[in-house]
């Protein structure tokens, strides 16, 4: 029987550090401001400030190469295994906005995974 390695690879350690740093320095500090906007506008739409926060953070994540991290076992993403992605998902779970910022929020993950695999 083959043993499963649940540790971080060097490749993952670097990526995890970059994700954690962006969450700690750019995303988490804006969580409270984003949530303070809830209830200020239309219930089904982000306020202008929420959109500004999200789109600005998404652009920085894309520019940093921290996009579509969830696309496991694919050459279109980072090629992570599900176990490797779990480390990043755990880190993203510390912030209200992080999964959305890195394009790892439902329904993006499931829908895009189906499209990537089956067209």
Side-chain-side CA neighbours of residue 40 (13 Å): 11
- Tokens matching residue 56: 């600005």
Per-residue pLDDT, 100: 95
Tell me, what's the pLDDT at 73?
67
Nearest of 57, 54, 59, 86 to residue 70 by alpha carbon: 86
Q: Provide the whole-model pTM.
A: 0.85
Q: Please give the pLDDT value at position 27.
A: 98
| Predicted pLDDT at 81 | 85
Cis peptide before 48 (omega within 30 of 0): no
* Per-residue model confidence as pLDDT tens digits over 53-76: 999 999 999 999 999 888 776 667
Check residue 19 and report its DSSP letter. H
Q: How far apart are CA 86 and CA 40, in angstroms?
A: 34
Answer yes or no: is pLDDT of 12 > 90. yes
Spell out the domains of the chain, with CATH numbers in brackets. 10-118 (1.10.540.10)
- What is the per-residue pLDDT across 63-119, written as a single tens digit (0 to 9) for each? 999 998 887 766 677 788 888 999 999 999 999 999 999 998 877 666 666 776 777
Q: What is the CA radius of gyration of the chain?
A: 16
């Amino acid at each position: 029987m083959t043993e499963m390695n649940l540790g971080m690879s060097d490749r993952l350690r670097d990526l995890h550090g970059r994700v954690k740093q962006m969450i700690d320095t750019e995303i988490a500090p804006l969580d409270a401001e984003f949530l303070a906007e809830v209830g200020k506008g239309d219930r089904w739409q982000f306020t202008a400030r929420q959109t500004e926060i999200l789109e600005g953070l998404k652009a920085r994540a894309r520019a940093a190469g921290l996009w579509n991290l969830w696309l496991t076992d694919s050459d279109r993403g980072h090629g992570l295994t599900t176990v490797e992605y779990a480390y990043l998902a755990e880190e993203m779970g510390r912030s209200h906005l992080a999964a959305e910022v890195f394009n790892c929020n439902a329904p993006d993950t499931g829908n895009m995974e189906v499209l990537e695999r089956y067209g």
